[in-house]
Structure 1
């Protein structure tokens, strides 16, 4: 009994650390919005993504090539599939963003919080509690308040919606396949495939162009190393310890952090919509973290398929 209690306490602590790690990841992603807007105004979007992820992949393989070599062939292919999903999601989201407003893009991208539990239910036969579905609804409403000022369904919305579906698949797959002791290797494989997908997208005009100046390079390096490699590593490790739906709800705090940074740096004004929307997203995260965890331990969830 004592040993069981200690194991539960350890699992709870690791789960808390995983949640904090995803919150830090969401904060990092939220900090990049201003930087991305500045850089893509001065270089093609596909080129920016290619350079960003190539730098991240090179650094990750330099640091973790031995971890990659230790991966089983099955895990290597899983990393390839996950990286392809994420890379295609990045391209479609960015393409959609060029056709619609950033606020609508932010809301539609955040719909992965809805797709994730649906996909987990149908693909993995995971049962979701009423409180989790309530949290999904609260997070969706919060995203709408945070980002929407008018909405129309056009090509950009459909492209972004498909990217959200791909992100949902990535979250479910990563949550099902990731193991804490393989986080370094699996993250490096994913990053290499993301870089390849983005590089292929630049083939039509002869390959990627480099950032035009020093400030652009600094921004790209930050997004490659911190918001790219570091965030992917943290997400992979954290999802080895959290169910996919919980992870998705925690990650919807990204627009909350984006709005916070926008207000802090004077590029936006604090409004009641920000306060209410951000409050709902945080309340959804709080609700799902307080929900009794009836799922089996992470070791049981990540079984072989």
Structure 2
């Protein structure tokens, strides 16, 4: 392994840690503000965090690069922002313990949310079949393992599943749709345009979230101050820094390494939930996590 590949692997590992622990921040933030308020501010911060990266990369951009038409950038980024808004909102609502408790529903945990969200890597190739994309045996075996794992993790002995788990599962469907949409829009983009597209989609998601928050949630200065550390983590670290690290790392990373390392996001979600929030998973749930992780890896390594 050369030094560039090793550096890429280290950066991807750090990215997975940041993203995994973000589920803890998202869970903690729900004790102070509503899910749409949380997402609106964190994605706005995330968009701002990428601006310095754009300015830096623009200096070294080839003078021969034409760039993407502004109208195409805005339309594509807007569509991505809508998909991101739905997926992120459902995921955040699934983690919103105090809000769901008011209606008699149970929220998911940070650890479970990490694994359930990770199912999008299984959904992507399956949904790709409807777009005439070929898939291999790894996808189907991985999907089977993921389904069994999901059953062990979330379905109780009386065949019930918590409302929070269900919301996060539906959000994974939209994350998969988001990935497929990126696949349609990103070919031909250089690194600068790719990050510009991300800024547009993060901004669109922030605007939609804040509009929903103003219309449906109570926003107080006390709540914002209490949620500030979690929002800052979700915005600057999870969106801004981690996304930047991923962009830098995947230029030199081997695809198999990237698949394994980024899948560890779910593992760090569980570790963070246990160490920081006191969450405890039963042996049955841990077996489910193991099967889901195996399914996610198979879907990426043998797609």
**TM-score, length of structure 2 as denominator length:** 0.70
Mapped to 1, the partners of 2:7 and 2:136 lie a distance apart of 23
- Report the equivalent of 2:107: 101
Task: State yes or no: 1:145 paired with 2:152.
Answer: yes
Q: CA 1:41–1:198 in 2, change beyond 3 Å: closer, same or farther?
A: same
| Cα distance change on mapping 1:196 and 1:17 into 2, 3 Å | farther
Asked if residue 46 in structure 1 is aligned to residue 52 in structure 2, the reply is no
Q: Is the 8 A contact 2:108 2:162 kept in 1?
A: no
Change (3 A) 1:143 1:154: closer
Q: 2-side partners of 1:20 and 1:198: how far apart?
A: 33
- What does 1:192-207 correspond to in 2, within 5 Å? 192-204=203-215
CA contact (8 A) 1:45 1:94 kept: yes
8 A contact 1:116–1:169 mirrored in 2: yes
- Indicate the residue corresponding to 1:82 in structure 2: 80
Residue 163 of structure 1: aligned partner: 171
SS in 1 for 2:279: coil
Secondary structure, aligned partner of 1:193: helix
CA distance in 2 between counterparts of 1:122 and 1:239 reads: 28
CA gap 1:145/1:269 in 2 versus in 1, 3 angstroms: same
Find out whether 1:175 has 2:183 as its counterpart: yes
- Taking the TM superposition and a 5 Å limit, the aligned residue runs for 1:98-247 are 98=100, 99-102=105-108, 109-123=117-131, 125-149=132-156, 152=160, 159-178=167-186, 179=189, 181=191, 182-204=193-215, 208-210=219-221, 212=223, 216-233=227-244
Structure 1 residue runs without a partner (length 5+): 1-8, 294-305
| Aligned residues of 2:154 and 2:165 also touching (Cα < 8 A) | no
From the superposition, tell whether residues 255 and 147 of structure 1 become closer, same or farther in structure 2 (CA, over 3 Å).
farther
Q: CA RMSD in A?
A: 4.1
- Secondary structure class of the residue paired with 2:179: helix
Give a deviation string over 1:157-191, Cα, whole Å, max 9, x none.
76545432211110112234334523322221221
Maintained 8 Å contact 1:114/1:140: no
Shift of 1:54: 1.7
Is the 2:84–2:174 contact (alpha carbons within 8 Å) kept by the matching residues of 1?
yes
Matched, 1:279 2:290: yes
Kept in 1: contact 2:32–2:226 (CA 8 A): no
Displacement after TM superposition at 1:111 (Å): 4.2
CA change 1:109–1:286 in 2 (3 A) is closer
Q: Say whether the 8 Å CA contact 2:122–2:296 is kept in structure 1.
A: no
- Contact kept? 1:250, 1:285, Cα under 8 Å: no
With 200-209 and 134-143 compared, the bigger mean Cα shift is at: 200-209
Task: State the structure with bigger RCO (CA 8 A, min sep 6), 1 or 2.
Answer: 2
Q: TM-score, normalised by structure 1?
A: 0.70
Aligned length: 277
| Local SS of the residue matching 1:102 | coil
Kept after mapping to 1: 8 A contact 2:11/2:245: yes
Sort the Cα spacing of 1:91 and 1:265 in 2 relative to 1 into closer, same or farther, 3 A.
closer
Give the direction of change, closer, same or farther, for the CA distance of 1:86–1:23 in structure 2 (3 Å limit): farther
Q: Match of 1:59?
A: 49
